[in-house]
Amino acid sequence: MKIQRGDMVVVTAGNHKTTVPHKVSSISADGLKVVVEGINSAMRHVKRGHPKSPQGGRLEIDLPLDISNIRLYCQSCNKGTRVGYKYNDDGSKERFCKKCGARISEIAPAKKAYAKS
């Protein structure tokens, strides 16, 4: 999956379109929906005795967005970019920015099968 929990992303479409990066808090099991902190929030009315609000009242929760409406934030480009995968010479797999080619993170450790020797 190209977007992972904890990544900084930019919302590119919808009512919450922004250029400021926000953190991904969770991803659905099928990988099509993403919950971004502080984006697409709604009020939920809860009764007394709820674990997050024992006295009851209104809780603000973040609702999921479609994954097609976000892009990964590249710190070297300072904008939202597409993500690619590649194997390094030692066989490790990493994510990289498609605009500037900067390394984002390592996905898998080195494997002999993918090493270029």
- Number of Cβ atoms within 10 Å of the Cβ of 69: 18
Residue boundaries of the structural domains of the chain: 8-114
Residue with structure tokens 């992303």? 9
- pLDDT, tens digit (0-9, with 9 covering 90-100), for 22-49: 999 999 999 899 999 989 889 989 888 8
Q: What is the mean pLDDT of the chain?
A: 89
- Number of Cβ atoms within 10 Å of the Cβ of 21: 19
pLDDT confidence bin for 68, thresholds 50/70/90: very high
Residue 108 has pLDDT above 90, yes or no: no
- The architecture of the domain spanning 8-114 is Roll (2.30)
